[in-house]
Amino acid sequence: MKAALALITIGTATLLLWCAPALALDPSLEISQYSHTSWTRREGFCVGAIFATAQTPDGYLWLGSEHGLFRFDGVRSVPWQPPAGQLSPYQAAYSLLVTRDGTLWVGTFAGLLSWNGSKLTQYPKIGEVFITSLLEDHEGAVWVGILFDSRGPRKERLCSIRNGQVQCYGKAGSFGSLVWSLGEDGTGTLWVGAESGLWRWKPGPPKRYPTEARVGAMVASGDGALTFGISGEGLKRMVAGKLAALSIYSPRNGTALLTDREVDSNKLLRDRDGGLWIGTHQRGLIHVHNGRTDVFRKSDGLSGDITCSLFEDREGNVWFASAHGLDRFRELPVTTISIKQSLSSDATQSVVEATDGSIWAGTRDGLNRWKDGQTTIFRKGTGRPDNSVQSLFDYRGRVWVSTGQGMVYFDNGRFVPVNGVPSTEIYAITGNTSDNLWLSGNKGLSHLRGGRLVENFPWSTRGRHQEAKVAVFDPNQGGIWLGFSLDGGVVYFKDGQVRASYTPAGGLHPILRDEIYKIATEALRNAFHHAQAKQVEVEIRYDHDQFRLRVRDDGRAWMRRFSPAMVLIDTMDCAG
């Protein structure tokens, strides 16, 4: 096997922790179509159950867990330690907030802390109480939700901090034993979810809206109104001064609604494109987008079905923490369409884009036409001779389809049989603008004109022992380029003759060389620009049977495309 090896070294002065513009997940996609990475205890990393996630201006992710506060740089997650001489928060962290000035606020099971990058501040007036929730309002005040602790001096359940001054509310027991969630709507109204119900707290006099259960989470919608997640009561919105149910359609039946028990909300996240993510108590992750609903559960690869926290980072990645691990969802340059999006089979053998913009996918169990998000499946008995599709080609508005039982083309809504083709297996189809089609099959290279067989060239008469698996028409020279896998090499065929032949022994053909150069260039650009690599190794090997390009680098993955190793141990119940 021939080989070429290159070592490229670059110097970097600094690692940019955050340099990419804010992105977002494509709201038209289902969860299963995003890139999903899950870190569990199998990777050997242990920080405990993560209850909250936040991100500071320097790009670090902060994880509030049962074992304390951890700082995550995209590769490692390390326990955070304050500077020498300052108090250390040796408490489990349950709630996190990064305010607009970049300060990190940490709500623990025994009080409140804030860290501005150089100074750690505690708030003894609030006391050593369980901090359930944190919110910064439009005026810059930080609001604190509290779970009552009979051992602490503070009896109030809600406090605000303005310019370092603490003021608390609810001493008379109006909130019950706790305030669990906080939210601010588009009008600047502060809402408080307490044991006693839902409160519109300010501006104006406070008003209570009774609920049967705890308001576990609240999140603003695109119109500024809040969506409330109430344990056992589904999702609610305020309509004409009353709490009204928010309907969530079933992922299995777009006209049926999920019951409150099926919604089972625990945590809520509204991403920047308007998608609603519902973290449930024990039913995984529900995603509502563009009027559609899909579900992602442990059986789909989620780390667990109990939601501990939801967070969207500055890159638009969505983070999910369960009692068993951490999950990240991010968008890929290429979208996956599978049986979860109604494809007939995941065993796809050929794909073509038709003139009308539709995508046709030939699988082992049917022919699929995908257009405007809808899939139409054609199987045997709908004009096609067989369910298994070998190859596809679009030519002048007709989609040509080869199967093991014959060949057809789709035109004006129906399939038309094509007779006289010698091969029973067609591996590739190509054509030109003069009504000529070329079929590479097991019986040779067949030439069709106007849908009728003109000639067939057996492979043995062209000095080949194996059929071509790739056929591409050359619009400049008018011939056909044929690629062979087992025999190896590329040939140029025109007017019934092989006009040129290229094999690995004779060097790569210029077309292949140029395409490989483009691929390698993009790989190097990614390594240098995104991974900040100092050394990149490019290896190229090829022979009659294969071509391999391998790129290795010592760069660091970061927020744009990072793959950290992370594990969470299920040692606490984090259902809210």
| Beta pairing partners, 402 | 391, 407
Residues 286-304: pLDDT tens digits?
999 888 899 999 999 999 9
499, two tokens: 């006009």
pLDDT > 90? residue 48 = no
Mean confidence (pLDDT) of the chain = 81
CB 303 within 8 A of CB 324: yes
Beta strands in 462-546 (DSSP E): 470-473, 480-483, 490-494, 497-502, 535-542
Residue-level pLDDT at 527 = 64
446, two tokens: 């067949």
Instruction: Check residues 133 and 523 and name the one with the higher pLDDT.
Output: 133
Q: CA geometry: angle at 336 spanning 254 and 526, to 5°? A: 140
| Average pLDDT, integer, range 36-41 | 84
Q: How far apart are CA 284 and CA 204, in angstroms?
A: 38
Alpha-helical segments (H) within 440-530 = 510-529
Highest mean pLDDT among 215-219, 336-340, 378-382, 561-565: 215-219
pLDDT > 90? residue 546 = no
The CATH number of the structural domain formed by 24-330 is 2.130.10.10
Residues 351-371: pLDDT tens digits?
888 888 888 998 888 899 988
Residue-level pLDDT at 102 = 96
120, two tokens: 């750690």
Poorest-pLDDT segment among 270-274, 542-546, 572-576 = 572-576
Q: How far apart are CA 343 and CA 264, in angstroms?
A: 29
| Average pLDDT, integer, range 300-312 | 93
| Average pLDDT, integer, range 93-102 | 96
From the list 393, 429, 399, the residue with the least C-alpha distance to 412 is 399
**Which residues fall within 8 angstroms of residue 317, CB to CB, at 6 or more apart?**
25, 328, 329, 330, 559
Residue-level pLDDT at 40 = 81
% of the chain surpassing 70 pLDDT:
82
Residue-level pLDDT at 18 = 33
| Average pLDDT, integer, range 552-570 | 42
| Beta pairing partners, 9 | 535
Q: How far apart are CA 239 and CA 223, in angstroms?
A: 13
Domain residue extents for the chain: 24-330, 339-510
Distances (CA, A) of 112 to 79, 105, 120, 143: 18, 7, 11, 11
Q: How confident is the model at residue 438 (pLDDT cuts 50, 70, 90)?
A: very high
Alpha-helical segments (H) within 64-136 = none
pLDDT > 80? residue 62 = yes
Q: Length of the chain in residues, anyone?
A: 576
Q: How confident is the model at residue 2 (pLDDT cuts 50, 70, 90)?
A: very low
**Which residues fall within 8 angstroms of residue 367, CB to CB, at 6 or more apart?**
344, 360, 361, 377, 378, 379, 384, 389, 401
Q: How far is CA 46 from the centre of its chain?
A: 24
pLDDT > 70? residue 90 = no
| Average pLDDT, integer, range 372-388 | 81
Residues 135-163: pLDDT tens digits?
999 999 999 999 976 555 557 899 999 99
Q: How confident is the model at residue 64 (pLDDT cuts 50, 70, 90)?
A: very high
User: For 339, which DSSP code?
Assistant: G
Q: CA geometry: angle at 454 spanning 450 and 455, to 5°? A: 145
Q: How many CB atoms lie within 10 A of CB 272?
A: 14
pTM of the model: 0.71
From the list 151, 217, 145, 152, the residue with the least C-alpha distance to 176 is 145
CB 467 within 8 A of CB 442: yes
CB 163 within 8 A of CB 126: no
Residues 150-209: pLDDT tens digits?
555 557 899 999 999 999 998 767 898 899 999 999 999 999 999 999 999 999 999 999
Instruction: Check residues 103 and 503 and name the one with the higher pLDDT.
Output: 103
Q: How confident is the model at residue 514 (pLDDT cuts 50, 70, 90)?
A: low
| Average pLDDT, integer, range 234-260 | 87
Q: How far apart are CA 151 and CA 157, in angstroms?
A: 14
Q: How many CB atoms lie within 10 A of CB 455?
A: 11
Q: Which residue type, as a one-letter code, is found at position 61?
A: L
Q: How far apart are CA 72 and CA 62, in angstroms?
A: 6
Q: SS3 sequence, 356-416?
A: CCCEEEEECCEEEEEECCEEEEECECCCECCCCEEEEEEECCEEEEEECCEEEEEECCEEE
Calculated CA dihedral for residues 179, 180, 185, 188, nearest 10 degrees: 30
pLDDT > 50? residue 5 = no
Q: How far apart are CA 374 and CA 496, in angstroms?
A: 43
Poorest-pLDDT segment among 11-20, 72-81, 88-97, 331-340 = 11-20
pLDDT > 90? residue 525 = no
Query: What end-to-end distance do the CA atoms of the chain give, in Å?
Result: 59
CB 331 within 8 A of CB 289: no
Its sign, for the CA torsion 8, 12, 18, 22, is negative
Residue-level pLDDT at 77 = 82
The CATH number of the structural domain formed by 339-510 is 2.130.10.10
Residue-level pLDDT at 567 = 24
231, two tokens: 């344990």
Poorest-pLDDT segment among 18-32, 292-306, 522-536, 552-566 = 552-566
Residue-level pLDDT at 38 = 87
Residue-level pLDDT at 254 = 73
**Which residues fall within 8 angstroms of residue 94, CB to CB, at 6 or more apart?**
51, 52, 64, 107, 108, 109, 130, 131, 132
